[in-house]
Amino acid sequence: MTTAINNKKVVLVVGAGDATGGAIAKRFAQEGFVACVTRRSADKLQPLVDAIQASGGEAHGFACDARKEEDVIALVDQIESQIGPIEAFVFNIGANVPCSILEETARKYFKIWEMACFSGFLNGREVAKRMATRQRGTILFTGATAGMRGAAGFAAFAGAKHGIRALAQSMARELGPMNIHVAHVVVDGAIDTDFIRDSFPEKYALKDQDGILNPEHIAENYWYLHSQPRDAWTFELDLRPWSERW
């Protein structure tokens, strides 16, 4: 295990998509963090990296399969040794794929669990090892309504999201005494994304009424969690539009 060569503060966002993950990376970059962002395809990260750099920040994009242990270990080692210590880690992989339990296949169920739960364990473990040696850090997991209750037709997604919530709880209890803040964010509602715009136009039409979540507003809450004083840490924070039924 190598040691970082400088004292730059790094935020690692695994699952830095065009909406929530990208907005979180930008928000931390505004505060002077080096944004290290990952997706399975590095090409898709370039617009985000360019946007952060254009705003005066520093960003690096990495292609990484978050489900592969060797890739995750190599990623964390590269960032820590070549860029700086990971002070904040955000796990933001979704895998919200509906399917009737009567038609669900073992292969797809396992893949959804790998993406939305197992990869959270792999990445969280590797980052926690580094943070534990420094006795500081923030680990934030993006959850969903499915992590609180399983809806019809979403057995695989609900199982994975229940799992990531349990992982976050366990990690929070173990790592809190090491001065590592672990939190779970329940995002309950549609987010302003191209997917919602194209697939659910009636839902997207609520945007002008603040009826869907703004990624920048979600990101602000992630920064809030990271900034909390340790005498008043939040473990679970739920975010939803004012008009959302719950």
Look up residue 12 and give its two tokens: 């690692």
**What per-residue confidence (pLDDT) applies to 6?**
59
Beta bridge partners of 11: 35, 88
Average pLDDT, the chain: 94
DSSP 81-135: HHT--EEEEEE-------B-TTT--HHHHHHHHIIIIIHHHHHHHHHHHHHHHHT
Confidence check: pLDDT of 7 > 90:
no
pLDDT band for 111, please (50, 70, 90 cuts): very high
Over residues 121-128, the mean pLDDT reads: 98
**What per-residue confidence (pLDDT) applies to 94?**
84
**What per-residue confidence (pLDDT) applies to 17?**
84
pLDDT band for 73, please (50, 70, 90 cuts): very high
Confidence check: pLDDT of 237 > 90:
yes
At which residue do the structure tokens 């715009």 appear? 197
**What per-residue confidence (pLDDT) applies to 200?**
87
C-beta of residue 83 within 8 angstroms of C-beta of residue 36: yes
Q: What is the pLDDT of residues 212-235, one digit of tens each?
A: 999 999 999 999 999 999 999 999
**Domains assigned to the chain:** 10-239 (3.40.50.720)
Higher-confidence residue of 94 and 220: namely 220
Confidence check: pLDDT of 42 > 90:
no
